[in-house]
Amino acid sequence: MNDNKQQHGIEDKFADSNVDNNTADEDNPMGHPEEQPTGTDGTPKFGRLLIVLILMVIVIGFITFASEWFYS
């Protein structure tokens, strides 16, 4: 059968894959990779995002008040 694949130009793209479908455990039946760590203690880091969000709200508020003052 391997010769048949080579004759038709079909390559086995998953031959070097680290996933072995015969030994997939019950927690990960499809062989997905492990999740990446989110932080040093495992919690997501929302601090910087929250600071940027607050600063953008302040900037938008400033632009709103400045444009009202300038155009009225």
Helix (H) or strand (E) holding 3: helix 2-8
> Could you report the per-residue pLDDT of 3-56, keeping only the tens digit for each?
555 555 555 555 555 555 555 567 888 888 887 766 667 666 788 889 999 999
Q: What is the pLDDT of residue 3?
A: 56
- The alpha carbon torsion through 18, 24, 28, 29 (nearest 10 deg) reads 110
pLDDT of residue 67: 96
Q: Please report the pLDDT score of residue 7 as a whole number.
A: 54
Distance (Å, rounded) from C-alpha 58 to C-alpha 70?
A: 18
Task: Mark out the alpha helices in 9-46 (DSSP H runs).
Answer: none
Q: What is residue 55's predicted lDDT score, i.e. its pLDDT?
A: 98
Does the model's pTM come out above 0.85? no
Taking the CA atoms of 63, 67, 69 and 70 in sequence, report the sign of the dihedral they define: positive
